[in-house]
Amino acid sequence: MHIPDGFIPLWQTGIYYIITIIALYFALNWAKENLDEKRVPLMAVLAAFIFAIQAMNIPIPWGTSGHMLGAALVAIVFGSPWAAVLVLAVVLTVQGFFFGDGGITALGANILDMGVIAGFTGFGVFKALQKLNLWVAIFLAGWASIFVASLAVAIELALAGTFPYDLGLIFMGLYHAIIGIAEGAITVVAILAIQRVRPDLLHWNKTKSDSEVDK
Amino acid sequence: MKAKDKKFVIGGLIIAIIIAILAPFLASSDPDGLESAAEKILLIEETEPMFEAPLPDYLVPALGESPLGGAISIVIGTIIAFLAMVGLATTARWFKSNSDDS
């Protein structure tokens, strides 16, 4: 759902840039306080994984395809949506500048949708449902993150006069409700894999493992 | 870096690079959700990108539309994303250690 150049008028892209820069300020502050020696490599591996998996478009019906975003994954692993903002900002900037995926003028909007909105939605759903069932919460966090982000894109493009409101919300929502199943499933698999090889890297194991392993 | 962190990074990067190599062979080339919606309901004229990327559409221009070019460019992107994230995260931590010193 990378918005290309020309879909949003420049003055509106400026507003999205400003919101994104404010979010990045908070995300960098979070990183400053919370990243330790072993979480920098974890974050970098997740950035590499998300870059690669975003190139893996999965077919869905109606001659359409989609890929996961990864924001919910990062937010859950790090226990903070700010981590997702940072990782997606890096991935989307590399995609925009090196591969022409997502317009440079739309980069602020793309980070806002796929980093900030997807990250906070995924993290919120995870937190709300975590106590009911951990893995169901992770799956639904992944699903909701991309679904809500796609609705945000539809609203931005409607404000831009590029999509009609109703059809934009219907098509974007419908496509991404289906892509969300893949997002949820891959999020679960990735966290299961980390839980298996390095449970101490998962935020919800942090206090326990830090006393055992690090100190 | 501790040995087990190094192992995690190497293992994680290998998985990412395997996905990157396979992506152009396995991925669907159908338009994605936004492109597909745009094909149906776009109210405006599409325009050219503001800026010409060095590897547009995850292809190496010299290799044309071959999946090999796709694999090469996605592997390059995966490594750039990894290094950029190390750079940004390390910079953020560097500010922390500086403010601790003062």
Q: Read off the pLDDT of residues A15-49 as tens digits, 9 standing for 90 and up.
A: 999 999 999 999 999 999 999 888 999 999 999 99
Residue B93, domain member (yes or no): yes
Q: What is the ipTM of this complex?
A: 0.92
Phi first, then psi, for residue B59 (nearest 5°) are: -130, 145
Q: Which of B20, B43, B54 sits opposite A164 (nearest CB)?
A: B43
Contact status of A41 with chain B (Cβ, < 8 Å): yes
User: What is the pLDDT of chain A when averaged over all its residues?
Assistant: 93
Average pLDDT of the segment spanning A82-106: 96
pLDDT tens digit sequence for A101-156: 999 999 999 999 999 999 999 999 999 999 999 999 999 999 999 999 999 999 99
Indicate the CATH number of A10-214 among 3.40.50.2000, 1.10.1760.20, 3.40.1360.10, 1.10.1740.10: 1.10.1760.20
CB-CB neighbors (< 8 A) of A37 in chain B: 1-2, 5
Nearest CA in chain B to A83: B89
Look at residue A215 in the predicted model and tell me its pLDDT.
38
Q: How confident is the model at residue A208 (pLDDT cuts 50, 70, 90)?
A: low
Q: Of the ranges A85-99, A114-128, B33-47, which one carries the lowest mean pLDDT score?
A: B33-47
Residue A207 scores a pLDDT above 70: no
Whether B48 maps to a domain, the answer reads: no
Q: Which of residues 67-86 of B touch A (CB under 8 A)?
A: 70, 73-74, 76-86
Q: Which structural domain range is residue B2 located in?
A: 1-27+56-97
Q: What is the pLDDT of residue B42?
A: 87
Average pLDDT over residues B49-72: 85
Is the residue at B46 inside a domain? Answer: no
Q: Using an 8 Å CB-CB cutoff, list chain A residues near B76.
A: 98
Closest listed residue to residue B80, CA positions, set B48, B54, B50: B54
At residue B50 the predicted structure's pLDDT band, cuts being 50, 70 and 90, is: confident
CA distance A25 to B5: 28
Within-domain flag for B102: no
Q: How far from chain centre, in Å, is Cα B63?
A: 19
Total domain count for chain B?
1
**B33 contacts in chain A (CB < 8 Å):** 1, 60, 64-66, 150, 171-172, 175-176, 179
Residue A214's pLDDT is 45
Closest by Cβ to A55, choosing from B33, B44, B58: B58
The answer to whether residue B47 is domain-embedded is no
